[in-house]
Chain A
Amino acid sequence: MTRFETRIAGYGGQGVITLSKMIITASSLYEGLAGTQTEAYSAAARGGKCWAEVVIDLDKTVKVIDYPKALEPYDFLIILSEEAAADVKPNMIKKEPNTGYLIWDNSTIQKVRAAKKVDKSLGIPIQKMAVEKFGNIVYGNSILLGVFTILSGIFSEESALETIKKFVPSSTLDRNLESFELGKQEAIEFLNRLKEGNN
């Protein structure tokens, strides 16, 4: 049993839930892995403190995830709001090779205090990039999916691209694919920095 626990936290409207649905679609529907996705279901999803969780079992023989919520420590934690950042503690993230990533948006969050104590933490100005390069914050989702695809490595790039095609309106597909590439580049650079040991 090799569970991959992902949690995304932010505020409603940022695309927290959409991103989680993209992740489960890529890994469960296209990659064929067992998975569950849950989300904040209340007024939170429309402007409050919002979260979503995805659990994927990397073992292809597993048909059903037992406990459907994400268990701490997480393999992947994405933080998109100041409020969510305040809740992060260093022991919430796995300390194992090739997993245990903390990703946060440093254009909306000034500081994630726990980030210093997490080996693999990365601040990306996601909202800023999305607005400056593509003119709308919704492209942040595709940037993050690019980052997730490379860092997590739980599904192939083809699955991720299929997912983007399924989720975005066809008129914005090109820009979404561009932002996906941008996310991938960020992640690859980050991995290189990690290898050199100067993150």
Chain B
Amino acid sequence: MNIENGKRFLPEGRHLMMGNVAMAEGALSSGLKFFGGYPITPSTEVIEHLAVRLPQVGGICMQMEDELASINSVIGASLVGAKSMTATSGPGLSLMVETISMAANLEVPFVFCDVQRNGPGTGFVTEPHHNDIGLVRFSGNGEFQVIALAPMTCQELFDLTITAFNYAETYRCPVYILSDAYLGHLHEIVNVPPKEEIQKRVIDRELPTPDQFIKKFTYKDDITGELVIPKPPQMGTDYCPGMFLHQPHNYEGLPTPKPMQFMEAIMDKINKNKDKICITEQYKLDDANIVIIAYGLPVRSSYRAVDIARKENIKVGIFRLVTVWPFPDKRVKEVVKDARAVIVPELNYTGYVAEQVERVTKLDTPVIKIPKVCEFHHPDDILNIIREVAK
């Protein structure tokens, strides 16, 4: 299965694209070779688009019989060396978590597009709702860490999908792209950079080096004490792991009598690299005493609210989480330490990120949630709270 580079990249320049298509094109640019999925509103356009595009570049797009088969095919493809991905929505994700847990144990790299919709249960299938934020973080039995990126424009859906694939290759863990029903169907211009530039950014799947013949899984180097994440093993080659993979294993893939060491390896490979993984953005934060912390679409509403509030001389700024998981605690702690109040507009009722923010703010700093369901914040929703706090 060789990817034909000619058709892999879109021509350089401006393209008007739907969010779901931008994500699919981002994946193709990253060298996607296999897509296994089961169509579900609102993610259907991803598989629809890839069904046309993947065969063009020599890859495979398979519509499986259900979500369980989809995720298993994705893990299988990745184990034999193909960059692979699936796309689904909340109900699909909840069916897939068993295999995701196994993939985390095996340290199989793959990318997961979650185009979120309302829930629980079937919910309103066409409405956006960031209600998988919690499920994504603990997506499966056992303890493991995931990476989740939250784009907010079609351009970012393209760019961050490339980043997601790079993270998957580097950290060998499930990487999520948190889109939603609204963003997935938004049409915007995507500026596609020249293919040389994209190629420079992309981390390709590489065969393990001979010294990684034995050390196939993450381990702590005895001498330096550093965690080492080897290249993913490839089945059908000399690196095919043994049969005890599903248990806590050592770097060889054999069951280990020291499960604590295994746990340290798969948790710390993310925890210790937080600084590299976490992408955050700041907007007018320098002199702000009111801090908005948001991710995804509510950030766009916040921009507008902050611009209006600034004209009223209210010192407010935005701290945006592009990486939602792992949660960038240190940076958030730094940002909120002198804040009078922290506002967290989230497109859900629970406030998954607000809970994390509360964890790192001082007890007397109020963390104000602005919950919304099925419809993201109107700038006035945020502006009214800013004005109230500023009084």
Beyond A66-B303, A66-B304, A68-B300, whether A35 also contacts B188 by CB under 8 A is yes
Binds B, one of A38-46, A140-148, A177-185: A38-46
Complex Cα gap A66–B181 (Å): 18
Most-contacted residue by chain A among B42, B187, B189, B301 (CB, 10 A): B187
Contact with A along B84-125 (1 / 0, CB 8 A): 000000000000000000000000000000000000000001
| In the complex, B185 has a CB within 8 A of chain A | yes
Binds B, one of A21-29, A80-88, A106-114, A129-137: A21-29
Complex Cα gap A35–B188 (Å): 6
Complex Cα gap A25–B186 (Å): 13
Beyond A66-B304, A67-B379, whether A38 also contacts B185 by CB under 8 A is yes
A67 x B300 contact (CB < 8 A) = yes
CB distance from A6 to the nearest CB of B (A): 13
CB distance from A12 to the nearest CB of B (A): 13
Beyond A25-B16, A28-B16, A68-B300, whether A41 also contacts B185 by CB under 8 A is yes
A37 x B304 contact (CB < 8 A) = no
Complex Cα gap A34–B186 (Å): 13
A28 x B189 contact (CB < 8 A) = yes
CB distance from A45 to the nearest CB of B (A): 10
16 residue pairs of the A-B complex, CB under 8 angstroms, read A24-B187, A25-B16, A28-B188, A34-B189, A35-B188, A36-B187, A41-B181, A66-B300, A66-B303, A67-B301, A67-B303, A68-B182, A68-B186, A68-B297, A68-B300, A71-B379
Residue in contact with B186 in the complex, picked from A1, A21, A28, A36, CB distance below 8 Å: A36
| In the complex, A168 has a CB within 8 A of chain B | no
Contacts A35-B189, A67-B300 supplied; 12 other A-B pairs, CB < 8 Å: A21-B187, A24-B16, A28-B16, A29-B189, A36-B187, A36-B188, A41-B126, A42-B126, A66-B303, A67-B303, A67-B378, A68-B297
Contacting residues, chain A, for B16 (C-beta < 8 A): 24-25, 28-29
CB distance from B352 to the nearest CB of A (A): 23
CB distance from B378 to the nearest CB of A (A): 8
Q: Which of B341-391 contact A (CB under 8 A)?
A: 378-379
| In the complex, A64 has a CB within 8 A of chain B | yes
CB distance from A108 to the nearest CB of B (A): 26
Residue in contact with A67 in the complex, picked from B42, B185, B304, CB distance below 8 Å: B304
Interface residues of A (CB under 8 A from B): 1, 21, 24-25, 28-29, 32, 34-39, 41-42, 64-68, 71
| In the complex, B143 has a CB within 8 A of chain A | no
Closest to A33 in B: B189
Closest to A52 in B: B187
| In the complex, B14 has a CB within 8 A of chain A | yes
Contacting residues, chain B, for A28 (C-beta < 8 A): 14, 16, 188-189
Interface residues of B (CB under 8 A from A): 14, 16, 42, 125-126, 153, 155, 181-182, 185-189, 297, 300-301, 303-304, 307, 378-379
Residue in contact with B153 in the complex, picked from A24, A25, A64, CB distance below 8 Å: A64
A29 x B303 contact (CB < 8 A) = no
Closest to B126 in A: A42
Contacting residues, chain B, for A24 (C-beta < 8 A): 16, 187
Most-contacted residue by chain B among A29, A32, A64 (CB, 10 A): A64
CB distance from A20 to the nearest CB of B (A): 9
Closest to A166 in B: B16
CB distance from B377 to the nearest CB of A (A): 9
A37 x B189 contact (CB < 8 A) = no
Contacting residues, chain A, for B14 (C-beta < 8 A): 28-29, 32
A37 x B126 contact (CB < 8 A) = no
Contacting residues, chain A, for B303 (C-beta < 8 A): 66-67
CB distance from A67 to the nearest CB of B (A): 5
CB distance from A162 to the nearest CB of B (A): 12
Contacting residues, chain A, for B125 (C-beta < 8 A): 42
Closest to B153 in A: A64
Residue in contact with A37 in the complex, picked from B42, B155, B187, CB distance below 8 Å: B187
Complex Cα gap A68–B185 (Å): 12
Complex Cα gap A94–B14 (Å): 31
Complex Cα gap A67–B304 (Å): 7
Complex Cα gap A107–B50 (Å): 42
Complex Cα gap A68–B18 (Å): 13
A38 x B187 contact (CB < 8 A) = yes
Contacting residues, chain A, for B188 (C-beta < 8 A): 28, 35-37, 65, 68
Contacting residues, chain B, for A29 (C-beta < 8 A): 14, 16, 189
Complex Cα gap A32–B191 (Å): 11
Contacting residues, chain B, for A39 (C-beta < 8 A): 185
Complex Cα gap A169–B62 (Å): 32
Complex Cα gap A35–B42 (Å): 22
Complex Cα gap A34–B307 (Å): 18
Contacting residues, chain A, for B185 (C-beta < 8 A): 38-39, 41
CB distance from A38 to the nearest CB of B (A): 6
Complex Cα gap A39–B304 (Å): 21
Contacting residues, chain B, for A36 (C-beta < 8 A): 186-188
Most-contacted residue by chain B among A34, A66, A71 (CB, 10 A): A66
Contacting residues, chain A, for B181 (C-beta < 8 A): 41
Contacting residues, chain B, for A64 (C-beta < 8 A): 153, 155
